[in-house]
């Protein structure tokens, strides 16, 4: 890794400076976006390996290019580790990311115009589960389901909608849901209407491997996931077919594979495939279970710290890696102010919609945050209590800023807000404290390009 940075420094000083700046931002700040994590040195090295030089369209032992005998072994190793980690009979490790993996599920199971169901985007769902701005909501007839006022999935509504609309495909999974997914209940609903159940576990995949979250394998036909987030690997995707899926359609695995290639993609990214395999090897070690247990412990401790300081949390807590703050007690559309202020304090989160969002996805009333990255760095409950207090203090510093009703005035108002908080002494003080904490928990001990 030292040699790699030395080469960039010599060949492209401009890019080296940018990487150094980003390294500094990550090293001296708290990455709390729940879909982000820090990969190991081994995963970094696989990503930067000579495997990036190779083209390997097709699948192991069925390639369109020569010279793939070792690439075949790389991909086969990744597949076997995925199958072992999730206890499934079939895995495809070629998706470039989570969204292409999800698109492949549609191609394998549906025709344009078929009815599909997924969690509504503003209720915490994902774009690719049928949201109107996504091609998945345009090519297919999307019937979204919702969460109740308390933030939990509305199983009665899901059942009624499924019985009424008879979807071909039902998604379970989300981008902002802080409780355990009811895979068993949704499996029964899908079975009753003859639908495929696809579990998108991108956020919780590592927790599933570790046994910290219930597995969808006995209940779903298809499973998709990204490979970063709680798996702690590179940015890629995977699709798995369960035994239940093969029982429903013996050709489902082949349909999935054909949907990825040649249906959606060309050559796989072999360096990413290798890095996925390395991450899965790490995930299969006993200490990974301890790590995932600590992610959830930290998440619960952080939620408690926030609530103790008067901050409202959707569902009044969490049992995964994620927390969703409801800012409506301070007014609607506050997410952008809190995100910007926390960024200034060295705490990275993302603005997010909340159940029954009173504003809009671009100016939402919530903030989403999580603990995977902090846990990777070695932080525990003691640090979560401190961090929760910082976040609560920053929220209170910006509570009097209000989003203008007139949409034309919003950009100018937010620009003025940014100028104002730049001078905020309390936020500046928290920033210094954040830096001091982060210095105690280096991203990569023994490696620091900031020197």
Which of these is catalytic: 141, 159, 214, 235?
Answer: 235
Q: Is 343 a catalytic residue?
A: no
Which pLDDT score is estimated for 3? 60
Q: Is 448 a catalytic residue?
A: no
Predicted TM-score (pTM) of this structure: 0.96
Which of these is catalytic: 136, 226, 230, 375?
Answer: 226
Tell me if 451 is assigned to some domain: no
Tell me if 16 is assigned to some domain: no
Q: Is 200 a catalytic residue?
A: yes
Q: Is 229 a catalytic residue?
A: yes
Q: Is 55 a catalytic residue?
A: yes
Residues 129 and 278 in one domain: yes
Residues 94 and 189 in one domain: yes
Which pLDDT score is estimated for 184? 98
Which pLDDT score is estimated for 450? 60
Residues 90 and 219 in one domain: yes
Neighbouring C-beta atoms of residue 405, cutoff 10 Å: 9
Which of these is catalytic: 168, 179, 229, 300?
Answer: 229
Residues 106 and 215 in one domain: yes
What is the signed CA dihedral for 209, 215, 216, 217, rounded to 10 degrees?
Answer: 70
Which of these is catalytic: 57, 72, 180, 343?
Answer: 57
Please name the residue that has the structure tokens 């025709």. 111
190 lies in which domain range? 47-283
Tell me if 93 is assigned to some domain: yes
Which of these is catalytic: 75, 200, 257, 283?
Answer: 200
Which pLDDT score is estimated for 446? 80
Tell me if 392 is assigned to some domain: yes
Which pLDDT score is estimated for 412? 93
- Describe the strand order of the beta sheet including 141-145 as a list of residue ranges: 90-92, 237-241, 222-226, 196-200, 169-172, 115-119, 141-145
Pick out the chain residues at pLDDT < 50: 1
Which pLDDT score is estimated for 445? 86
Closest CA to 315 of 304, 306, 324: 324
Which pLDDT score is estimated for 6? 87
Q: Is 57 a catalytic residue?
A: yes
High-pLDDT (> 90) share of the chain, %: 95
Domain holding 70: CATH number? 3.40.640.10
Q: Are 292 and 285 spatial neighbours (Cβ–Cβ below 8 Å)?
A: no
């Amino acid at each position: 890794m030292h040699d790699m940075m030395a080469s960039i420094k010599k060949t492209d000083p401009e890019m080296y400076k940018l990487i150094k700046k980003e390294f500094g931002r990550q090293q001296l700040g708290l990455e709390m976006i729940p879909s982000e994590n820090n990969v190991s040195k081994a995963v970094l090295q696989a990503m930067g390996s000579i495997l990036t030089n190779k083209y390997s369209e097709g699948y192991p032992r069925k390639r369109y290019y020569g010279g793939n005998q070792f690439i075949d072994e790389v991909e086969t190793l990744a597949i076997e580790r995925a199958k072992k980690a999730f206890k499934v009979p079939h895995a495809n490790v070629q998706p470039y990311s989570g969204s292409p993996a999800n698109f492949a599920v549609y191609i394998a199971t549906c025709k344009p115009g078929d009815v599909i169901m997924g969690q509504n985007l503003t209720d915490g769902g994902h774009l690719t589960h049928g949201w109107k701005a996504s091609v998945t909501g345009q090519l297919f007839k999307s019937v979204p389901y919702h969460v109740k006022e308390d933030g939990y999935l509305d199983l009665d509504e899901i059942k009624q909608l499924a019985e009424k609309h008879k979807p071909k495909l039902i998604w379970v999974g989300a981008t902002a849901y802080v409780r355990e997914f009811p895979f068993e209940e949704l499996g029964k609903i899908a079975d009753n209407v003859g639908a495929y159940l696809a579990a998108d576990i991108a956020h919780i995949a590592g927790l599933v491997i570790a046994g910290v979250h219930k597995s969808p394998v006995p209940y779903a036909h298809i499973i998709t996931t990204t490979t970063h987030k709680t798996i702690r690997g590179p940015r890629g995707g995977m699709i798995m077919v369960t035994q239940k899926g093969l029982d429903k359609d013996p050709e489902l695995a082949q349909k999935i594979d054909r949907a990825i290639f040649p249906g959606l993609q060309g050559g796989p990214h072999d360096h990413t495939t290798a890095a996925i395999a390395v991450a899965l090897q790490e995930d299969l070690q006993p200490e990974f279970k301890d790590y995932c247990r600590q992610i959830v412990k930290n998440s619960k401790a952080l939620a408690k710290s926030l609530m103790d300081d008067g901050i409202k949390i959707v569902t009044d807590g969490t049992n995964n890696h994620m927390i969703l703050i409801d800012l409506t007690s301070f007014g609607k559309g506050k997410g952008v102010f809190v995100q910007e202020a926390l960024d200034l304090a060295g705490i990275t989160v993302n603005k997010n919609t909340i159940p029954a969002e009173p504003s809009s996805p671009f100016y939402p009333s919530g903030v989403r945050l999580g603990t995977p990255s902090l846990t990777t760095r070695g932080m525990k409950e003691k640090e979560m209590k401190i961090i929760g207090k910082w976040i609560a203090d920053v929220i209170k510093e910006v509570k009097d800023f209000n989003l203008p009703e007139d949409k034309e005035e919003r950009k100018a108002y937010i620009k003025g807000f940014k100028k104002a908080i730049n001078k905020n002494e309390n936020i500046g003080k928290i920033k210094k404290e954040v830096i001091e904490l982060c210095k105690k928990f280096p991203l990569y001990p023994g490696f620091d390009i900031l020197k």
